């Protein structure tokens, strides 16, 4: 299965690491906000968690029981929103962390949602299309008690794609007896998906990157990008950057990377990957490892693959002036401090990759209204949301003398905390 959404590959221990990282980031921002203890207690842990174990019949008749999760972190600002991940190493802790990140991401973008995340512990590459369909339909049925257009709206994430969203939509619609387009986003366009949704995460990142570069006084045609990861997001960023006149000097996937200091021919690299399965070995480029890519001479580094790749070990060797986080959680807490001291501008995941959920919101609105927008309208609204969010984060960062991640968390936590306070504690 191809065309996954936000890029990420987890190692088994990463789930707990990511949860402790996002909780530390929350604590730091909550301290700076002087957030009352009662609000901290409410916001630090997920509101609802559902674990499901369900059987799926393989093509050869064998029955296997799979485990899945749906975590709804906070419902104060509206229904919850977030992707579903299919990955063999995904854990409940990782799903909790990702749900919490979704709450902040939605609040920061000003979307009327809380955050959620779903996952199934499975390697979709090991299953046939029919097996993936049966797994998806059964998982959708198991979590149907929790999802719905007014309750919680899933979307694609690692290992899932528009076709899987179509099966979820169809399954829920069969249960209801009528079509329910707004129960998921990231659907194929012919059944109510939005124009521009597939490219939205990468495109939103380039909008933010352009504004941030201007803020730093960088000249767009002189910008050299290194992109780690070449899935949906990494490849879209590469294409959009070239269209803006930037140079992509390095690009990689799980099998390795390629480098050309004068700029790669991005279309040739993507064609080579489509043909051979990897960017490695393309003509007119040197090869380099995923680790080397992070430290290469460039102006902008876009980690669009693994979480936890920028660490205290390599942060001081990173040469980029801007890091735009396409993946969720690519930078550790210790690395953040080193990068801040060195004057590197880190555009945090909850800001840099918020384009996906923003166009998901547009898709949900279009589905509820049964009135569809042109790609031009979608992109114009996406640009407005992304640049507004960046301006607000830059303002808080300057006022409070903090890095962009802390500023983004502060803005988001304040908004969610205010919603909880205004609604009051029930009963
Ligand atoms: N999975 C994406 C993310 O992590 C998109 C979620 C959505 O569109 O709801 O932001």
Q: Is the model's pLDDT at 53 over the cut of 90?
A: yes
Instruction: Please tell me the distance from the alpha carbon of residue 136 to that of residue 94, in angstroms, as a whole number.
Output: 20
Is 117 one of the catalytic residues? yes
The mean per-residue pLDDT over the stretch 190-218 comes to 97
What confidence tens digit (pLDDT) does each residue in 398-425 have? 999 999 999 999 999 999 999 999 999 9
HSE, side-chain direction, 13 A CA sphere, residue 267? 2
pLDDT band at 13 (very low <50, low <70, confident <90, very high): low
The mean per-residue pLDDT over the stretch 4-13 comes to 46
Instruction: Using the mean position of ligand 1's atoms as its centre, give its distance from the Cα of residue 244 in Å.
Output: 25
User: From the alpha carbon of 153, which atom of ligand 1 is closest?
Assistant: 9
Q: Two tokens at 107?
A: 């609040």
This prediction has a pTM of 0.95
What confidence tens digit (pLDDT) does each residue in 338-391 have? 999 999 999 999 999 999 999 999 999 999 999 999 999 999 999 999 999 999
Q: Is 356 in the pocket of ligand 1 (CB under 6 A)?
A: yes
What confidence tens digit (pLDDT) does each residue in 232-245 have? 999 999 999 999 99
Instruction: Using the mean position of ligand 1's atoms as its centre, give its distance from the Cα of residue 140 in Å.
Output: 17
What confidence tens digit (pLDDT) does each residue in 136-147 have? 999 999 999 999
Instruction: Please tell me the distance from the alpha carbon of residue 346 to that of residue 314, in angstroms, as a whole number.
Output: 15
pLDDT band at 396 (very low <50, low <70, confident <90, very high): very high
The mean per-residue pLDDT over the stretch 63-89 comes to 98
Q: Please tell me the predicted confidence (pLDDT) of residue 17.
A: 87
Q: Which of 201, 355, 412 for a ligand 1 pocket mutation test, highest count of atoms within 8 Å of Cβ?
A: 201
Instruction: Using the mean position of ligand 1's atoms as its centre, give its distance from the Cα of residue 72 in Å.
Output: 13
pLDDT band at 14 (very low <50, low <70, confident <90, very high): low
pLDDT band at 116 (very low <50, low <70, confident <90, very high): very high
Instruction: Please tell me the distance from the alpha carbon of residue 208 to that of residue 358, in angstroms, as a whole number.
Output: 13
Q: Please tell me the predicted confidence (pLDDT) of residue 2.
A: 38
Q: Quick one: 377 exposed, middle or buried, by C-beta within 10 A (0-12, 13-18, 19+)?
A: middle
Q: Is 185 in the pocket of ligand 1 (CB under 6 A)?
A: yes
Domains for the chain: give ranges and CATH numbers.
46-182 (3.40.50.10860), 200-347 (3.40.50.720)
- Mean pLDDT for the chain overall: 95
Q: Is 204 in the pocket of ligand 1 (CB under 6 A)?
A: no
Q: Please tell me the predicted confidence (pLDDT) of residue 307.
A: 85
């Amino acid at each position: 299965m191809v065309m996954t959404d936000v890029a990420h590959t987890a190692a088994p221990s990463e789930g707990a690491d990511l949860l402790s990282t996002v909780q530390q980031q929350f604590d730091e921002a909550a301290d700076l906000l002087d957030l009352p203890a009662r609000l901290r207690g409410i916001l630090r842990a997920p509101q609802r968690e559902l674990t499901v174990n369900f059987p799926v019949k393989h093509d050869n008749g064998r029955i296997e029981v799979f485990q899945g999760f749906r975590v709804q972190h906070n419902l104060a600002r509206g229904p919850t929103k977030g992707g579903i991940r299919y990955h063999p190493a995904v854990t409940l802790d990782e799903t909790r962390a990702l749900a919490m990140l979704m709450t902040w991401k939605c609040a920061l973008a000003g979307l009327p949602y809380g955050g959620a995340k779903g996952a199934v512990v499975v390697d979709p590459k090991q299953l046939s299309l029919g097996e993936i369909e049966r797994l998806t339909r059964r998982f959708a049925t198991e979590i149907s008690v929790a999802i719905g257009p007014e309750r919680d709206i899933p979307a694609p994430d690692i290992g899932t794609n528009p076709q899987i969203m179509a099966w979820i939509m169809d399954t829920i619609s069969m249960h209801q007896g009528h079509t329910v387009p707004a129960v998921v986003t990231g659907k194929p366009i012919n059944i109510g998906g939005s124009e521009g949704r597939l490219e939205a995460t990468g495109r939103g990142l380039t909008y933010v990157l352009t504004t941030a570069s201007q803020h730093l006084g960088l000249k767009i045609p002189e910008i050299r990008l290194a992109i780690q990861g070449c899935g949906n997001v990494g490849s879209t960023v590469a294409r959009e950057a070239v269209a803006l006149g930037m140079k992509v000097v390095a690009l990689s996937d799980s099998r390795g990377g390629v480098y050309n200091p004068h700029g790669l021919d991005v279309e040739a690299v993507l064609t080579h990957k489509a043909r051979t399965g990897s960017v490695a070995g393309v003509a007119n480029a040197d090869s380099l490892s995923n680790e080397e890519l992070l430290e290469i001479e460039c102006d902008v580094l876009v980690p669009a693959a693994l979480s936890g790749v920028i660490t205290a070990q390599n942060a001081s060797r990173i040469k980029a002036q801007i890091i735009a986080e396409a993946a969720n959680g690519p930078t550790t807490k210790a690395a953040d401090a080193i990068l801040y001291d060195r004057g590197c501008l880190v555009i945090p995941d909850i800001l840099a990759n918020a384009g996906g959920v923003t166009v998901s919101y547009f898709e949900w609105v279009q589905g509820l209204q049964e009135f569809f927008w042109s790609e031009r309208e979608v992109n114009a609204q996406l640009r407005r949301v992304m640049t507004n969010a960046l301006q607000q984060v830059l303002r808080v960062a300057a006022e409070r003398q903090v890095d962009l991640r802390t500023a983004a968390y502060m803005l988001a936590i304040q908004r969610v905390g205010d919603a909880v306070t205004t609604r009051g504690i029930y009963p």
